[in-house]
Amino acid sequence: MAKLHFLYSVMNAGKTTHLLQVRHNYIENGGHVLLFTSLIDDRFGVGKVRSRLGLEADAIPLRKEDAIGTIVADEHAKRPVTAVLIDEVQFMTAEQVRQLAWIVDELHVPVMAYGLKNNVFGTLFSDAISTMMALADDFQEIKQLCHCGRKATMILKYDRNGEAVRSGEVIEIGGEGRYVSVCRPHWTKGDIGPAARQLLARPVAAE
Residues in binding site for ATP: 9-16, 87-90
Burial class (CB in 10 A: 0-12, 13-18, 19+), 56: middle
- Which residues carry a binding-site annotation? 9-16, 87-90, 146, 148, 171-174, 179, 183, 186
| Of 144, 102, 169, 165, residue with least CA distance to 7 | 144
- Is residue 140 within 8 A of residue 22, CB to CB? The reply is no
Name the amino acid, one letter, at 86.
Answer: I
Q: How far is CA 191 from the centre of its chain?
A: 24
Task: Measure Cα distances from 13 to 17, 33, 64, 124, 154 in Å.
Answer: 9, 23, 26, 17, 12
Task: Measure Cα distances from 72 to 24, 27, 42, 63, 75 in Å.
Answer: 19, 17, 22, 14, 5
DSSP one-letter code for 148: T
- Which residues carry a binding-site annotation for substrate? 171-174, 179
Catalytic residues: 88
